[in-house]
Structure 1
């Protein structure tokens, strides 16, 4: 199933499972910028839309209702993702609206939300940078806690997907650049995968040339 089909199925499910204003927001408010993010940033980064909610409704600090562009909710982890376009809304915003927007964001933080904001230009022109930002965030949030597939963190699963797509082998530098991590953090991540019996190294102890997916392992997530 292609990305477009998965996206349509995901949006269709959220539309059909809602009613009233919540349904209208998904059907009409989820526009080009949001779809571009979902297909060009989120999907390539994680290859699923599990726990990601478009146009998510929250009660604001004035007991009104607001909608987040995206909300990722997994256990106690809550991440708000906003896509900001540099258009009339940004250029023409008045002082009252500006203050209201900051108060809204502050209240989300107080309520336990992590907030990530991307410009539309970065989503369109620098999607890989946006992917790395998300992968780094979720890698930090999940750490080595269980994340749906055994005890693999988000970054560990992404490392396994990358190696699987490259015929089961990858050089350290290529893998670390793809994940957007430095050598120290990358080595720690790979060592964790070796200890969990997903990876085996090729080369000497002092100089590892590549990492290979173990023959008895297959990546299905």
Structure 2
């Protein structure tokens, strides 16, 4: 849930790739599943701890979430709902704007949520800092790179962004290679946290394909 990149073409097609940096003890399904929430079918990996997910697509939306908002924060459980369930709440609403306006986030840990409406081509990021919602409209962006504030400082975030900006030939394989190189290994600073999977969603010609690759721990 911690590094994402999205390359967007002028016709609305895109390649979204996300590294999930998580506790090595948090259980995750080994495969992608199609499930139903609030009358809509979603496709994505499953967090077995909460029953939610960190990235999914439907016939209308592509959605993913990162831990944390703009700044690092202290983890202070218990929280009212997992962020992996919060991103499914979008499916209750008629639009992303309505979701942003109406969703109650009190008692939810900070997060950054990317939403793409495949019908209207609207793209937004919702940032919740634990007290306030912030909305970024991304409709004119061609490259978006975000890294979790809970794990990466400002210089590391800039390094990630520069790696994607240096990419000469934009295709899903080259993008995936960068995400592999940026994958977080076990380290002294975060001894039980590392990149546990890479997920890539390719939207082309109104067809969505998802590739989910668990990383051997």
TM-score for the superposition, normalised by structure 1 = 0.28
Structure with bigger helix share is: 1
More relative contact order, 1 or 2 (CA 8 Å, 6+ apart): 2
